């Protein structure tokens, strides 16, 4: 099975999970067959989707036409013969091993021999299903999280006989449908439920042992983990029987620590929800904190010790799937590895367990955990450097720039590497620099830190642009600000149709300072560069290709093959593309008029569309606009190196302005009010 072949999808089981998975696939443009035992169940699943889409329309997530289009791509049926030509099918029936095995038996009978068969199980091993199959190499786990149309996390779980090709193809599909995949070994609970269920269970134990009551545990858990719902409310919402079943399975595999508390089983038997009302006893914060953190730290470190998952995927899963602001290992770092070890020792002593080597060794070193934010993989002589901050849209910060530079230099020096590709994990390329870093630095009065970070970025981009080996930017999703600037330093930019590029900086009080004011005009001319930078206009990949900002736009399934073909063919020096006729009026407008005239509305413009475009300039920061104009104009009269130095020279000036702080600190909360100072 090649990645190129996955086009037709199917889901077995039209319940809440199955219908949600089908909806997500259809929302990303795929035709999906939704199968259940009879038409009544199928229609119920379609109605669930219809209701969810209607809620999305009401919340303005979709338009009515978009919702109708999504629904039209889902074909509900009770005829398993309709699965004869699907490329990948996800089983999402209830958690009964016998039932799931019978589903896979039927799938093997009706699906093509090369179709990928995936299970959404959360309770069983993938190998429990694969071992009884005729073609276990094509079976793997795709564990989606509720609600699968909204929650971006999916665990990709190969069984003991799953082929690497199948795993790679399934992973690629998850990125195509906007999911954030993490890798898990085929172990009970996989990565996330392995520590999340003990988190729920420990809350019940605290209640069972009269350590604290429900209101206190809820309050403490929300405060400690910075979450919107505590464990008892979560169980009320998601269903206590599910928690009981999952904890029972974990207990069977891993022992008493994981086994369900007696009070959880009793509550399920009663059929009653947990009673949440009451005042919290704040004096119990420490004891609740110690127990709940201790359990999470122990289990998270243990699963990494056992190679079930990595520290990075564990934390990404917690942030994306559970919506915790920080994952277990970030929390360990915040508390301190030594203090975290002491909490874990209390847990291991109580349950007669071993302290995880990972945590013991790290505490002994006195150092925090270091997260791998850039992952390198090499295939057929092409090294792909993937920025792995999907829940932050791969935003650049000091650690990312440092690690990307290290990985790039290693790949450039590796004789086995013929070319280098820069990519982003998840549904985006790079959504610019991490704005919080800028705000924190300004708050601390440390503009030197911003200058050093930007200078480091310039050194990275210099090496990208001067590498002897071909360097390609692989754009999928957002490429904003620093992300677009990084791409422009590469030899080629190849994008999918859903890629979007923009320079939003002047709308947040600053200017593009990683080469945006220099490489952009050299590539597309000063007029269009000014338009992009002055207005912050978002540009779909197809339009970016028209004006020469992007070199090729291809469907996601052909992205890697196209890049490989480009590399094999070889690159000629990039020549500036002649501006298409339909873009020339816009180019002329911004090339001919000073930015202050555009901002003040002093330019007479007859064309309505052009007038609207020029109007956008009035909402941007005046100082940032003036500096951007100065820098772009300089690009036409100076060498690139001198222009890049000018960008750095004006950093202190721009980040010292009130407008910069106003724009950066207001992002995502309100429209900034710029004062021109």
384-439: per-residue pLDDT in tens? Answer: 999 999 999 999 999 999 999 999 999 999 999 999 999 999 889 999 999 999 99
Answer for the pair 10, 33: CB distance below 8 angstroms, yes or no.
yes
Is residue 505 annotated as part of the catalytic site, yes or no?
yes
**Mean pLDDT (whole number) for 648-666:** 96
DSSP secondary structure of 30-88: --EEEE-SSHHHHHHHHHHHHHHHHHHHHTTSS-HHHHHHHHHTEEEES-GGGGTT-SE
d(CA 508, CA 162): 48
Bridge-based pairing of strands 153-158 and 139-144 is antiparallel
d(CA 67, CA 147): 17
Q: What is the pLDDT of residues 287-317, one digit of tens each?
A: 999 999 999 999 999 999 999 999 999 999 9
d(CA 39, CA 78): 6
**Mean pLDDT (whole number) for 338-351:** 98
Candidates 590, 593, 596; CA nearest to 676 is 596
**Mean pLDDT (whole number) for 585-603:** 94
Is-cis flag, bond preceding 147, omega within 30?
A: yes
**Mean pLDDT (whole number) for 616-626:** 96
Q: What is the pLDDT of residues 119-158, one digit of tens each?
A: 999 989 999 998 888 899 999 999 999 999 999 999 999 9
Q: Which helix (H) or strand (E) holds 545?
A: helix 541-546
**Mean pLDDT (whole number) for 613-635:** 96
CA distances from 167 to 104, 155, 255, 383 (A): 18, 11, 30, 19
Q: Is the pLDDT of residue 573 over 90?
A: no
CATH 3.40.50.720: which residues of the chain? 3-183
Q: What is the pLDDT of residues 34-80, one digit of tens each?
A: 999 999 999 999 999 999 999 999 999 999 999 999 999 999 999 99
**Mean pLDDT (whole number) for 356-373:** 97
Residue among 202, 330, 485, 587 flagged as catalytic: 485
- Three-state SS string across 299-342, please? HHHHHHHCCCCCHHHHHHHHHHHCCCCCCHHHHHHHHCHHHHHH
CA dihedral 644, 646, 651, 656 (to 10 degrees): -160
Q: What would you measure as the largest C-alpha separation in the chain, in angstroms?
A: 80
In the chain, the N- to C-terminal Cα span, in Å, equals 59
Instruction: State percent of the chain over pLDDT 90.
Output: 95
Q: What are phi and psi of 256, to 5 degrees?
A: -60, -35
DSSP secondary structure of 431-494: ESB-HHHHHHHHHTT-HHHHHHHHHHHHHHHHHHHT-SS-EEEEE-SEEETHHHHHHHTSSEEE
Residue among 505, 557, 587, 629 flagged as catalytic: 505
pLDDT at 409: 98
Q: What are phi and psi of 573, to 5 degrees?
A: -60, 135
**Mean pLDDT (whole number) for 163-170:** 96
Is residue 604 annotated as part of the catalytic site, yes or no?
no
Nearest-10 crossing angle of helices 192-208, 214-225: 140
CATH 3.90.226.10: which residues of the chain? 374-666
d(CA 475, CA 496): 6
Q: Domain 3-183 carries which CATH code?
A: 3.40.50.720
CATH 1.10.1040.50: which residues of the chain? 192-365
Give every strand in the sheet of 374-379, ordered side by side: 374-379, 382-387, 419-424, 471-475, 492-495, 552-553
Q: Is the pLDDT of residue 2 over 50?
A: no
Find the length of the chain. Answer: 677
CA distances from 289 to 84, 139, 240 (A): 53, 40, 23
Q: Where are the alpha helices (DSSP H) in 209-336?
A: 214-225, 231-238, 240-254, 262-270, 285-305, 311-321, 328-335
CATH architecture of 192-365: Orthogonal Bundle (1.10)
pLDDT at 576: 83
Q: Is the pLDDT of residue 1 over 80?
A: no
Answer for the pair 416, 346: CB distance below 8 angstroms, yes or no.
no
**Mean pLDDT (whole number) for 629-657:** 97
Q: Does domain 374-666 have CATH number 3.30.413.10?
A: no
Mean pLDDT for all residues in the chain:
96
Rounded to the nearest angstrom, the gap between the alpha carbon of residue 339 and the centroid of all alpha carbons in its chain is 30
Sign, CA dihedral 290-296-299-300, equals negative
Answer for the pair 576, 525: CB distance below 8 angstroms, yes or no.
yes
């Amino acid at each position: 099975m090649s990645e190129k072949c996955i086009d037709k999808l199917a889901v077995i089981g039209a319940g809440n999970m199955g219908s949600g998975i089908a909806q997500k696939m259809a929302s990303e443009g795929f035709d999906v067959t939704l199968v259940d035992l009879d038409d009544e169940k199928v229609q119920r699943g379609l109605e669930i989707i219809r209701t969810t889409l209607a809620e999305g329309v009401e919340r303005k997530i979709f338009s009515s036409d978009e919702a109708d289009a999504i629904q039209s791509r889902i074909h509900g049926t009770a005829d398993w013969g309709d699965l004869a030509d699907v490329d990948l099918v996800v089983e999402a029936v209830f958690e009964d091993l016998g039932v799931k095995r019978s589903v896979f038996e039927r799938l093997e009978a009706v699906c093509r021999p090369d179709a990928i068969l995936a299970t959404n199980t959360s309770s069983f091993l993938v190998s429990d299903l694969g071992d009884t199959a005729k073609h276990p190499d094509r079976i793997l786990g795709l564990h989606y999280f509720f609600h699968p149309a909204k929650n971006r996390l999916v665990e990709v779980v190969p069984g003991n006989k799953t082929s690497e090709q199948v795993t790679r193809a399934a992973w690629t599909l998850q990125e195509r449908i906007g999911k954030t995949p993490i890798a898990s070994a085929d172990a009970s609970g996989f990565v996330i439920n392995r520590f999340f269920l003990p988190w729920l269970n420990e809350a019940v134990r605290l209640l069972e042992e009269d350590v604290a009551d429900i209101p206190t545990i809820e309050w403490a858990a929300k405060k400690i983990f910075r979450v919107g719902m505590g464990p008892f409310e979560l169980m009320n919402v998601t269903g206590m029987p599910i928690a009981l079943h999952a904890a029972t399975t974990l207990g069977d595999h891993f022992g008493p620590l994981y086994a369900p508390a007696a009070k959880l089983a009793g509550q399920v038997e009663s059929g009653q929800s947990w009673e949440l009302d009451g005042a919290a006893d704040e004096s119990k914060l420490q004891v609740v904190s110690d127990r709940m953190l201790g359990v999470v730290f122990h289990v998270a470190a243990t699963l990494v010790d056992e190679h079930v998952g990595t520290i990075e995927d564990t934390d990404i899963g917690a942030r994306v799937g559970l919506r915790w602001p920080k994952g277990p290992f970030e929390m360990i770092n915040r508390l301190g590895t030594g203090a975290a070890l002491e909490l874990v020792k209390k847990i291991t002593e109580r349950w007669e367990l071993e302290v995880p080597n990972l945590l013991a060794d790290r505490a002994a070193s006195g150092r925090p955990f270091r997260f791998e934010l850039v992952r390198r993989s090499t295939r057929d002589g092409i090294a792909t450097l993937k920025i792995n901050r999907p829940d932050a849209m791969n935003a650049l910060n000091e650690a990312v720039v440092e690690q990307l530079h290290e990985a790039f230099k290693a790949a450039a020096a590796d004789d086995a590497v013929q070319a280098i590709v820069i990519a982003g994990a998840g549904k985006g390329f790079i959504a610019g620099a991490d704005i919080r870093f800028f705000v924190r630095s300004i708050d601390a009065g440390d503009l030197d830190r911003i200058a050093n970070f930007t200078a480091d970025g310039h050194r990275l981009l210099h090496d990208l642009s001067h590498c002897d080996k071909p360097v390609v930017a692989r754009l999928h999703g957002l490429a904003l600000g620093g992300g677009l600037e990084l791409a422009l330093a590469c030899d080629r930019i190849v994008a999918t149709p859903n890629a979007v590029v923009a320079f939003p900086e002047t709308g947040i009080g600053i200017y593009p300072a990683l080469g945006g004011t220099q490489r952009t005009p050299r590539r597309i001319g000063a007029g269009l560069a000014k338009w992009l930078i002055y207005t912050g206009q978002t540009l779909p990949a197809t339009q970016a290709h028209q004006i020469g900002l992007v070199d090729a736009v291809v469907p996601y399934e052909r992205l890697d093959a196209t890049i490989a073909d480009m590399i094999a063919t070889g690159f000629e020096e990039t020549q500036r593309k002649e501006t298409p006729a339909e873009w020339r009026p816009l180019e002329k407008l911004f090339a001919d008029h000073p930015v202050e005239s555009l901002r003040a509305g002093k330019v007479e413009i007859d064309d309505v569309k052009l007038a609207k475009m020029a109007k956008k300039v009035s909402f941007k920061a005046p100082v940032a606009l003036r500096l951007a104009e100065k820098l772009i104009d300089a690009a036409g009269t100076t060498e690139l190196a001198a222009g890049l130095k000018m960008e750095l020279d004006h950093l202190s000036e721009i980040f010292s302005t009130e407008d910069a702080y106003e724009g950066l600190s207001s992002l995502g909360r309100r429209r900034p009010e710029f004062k021109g100072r």
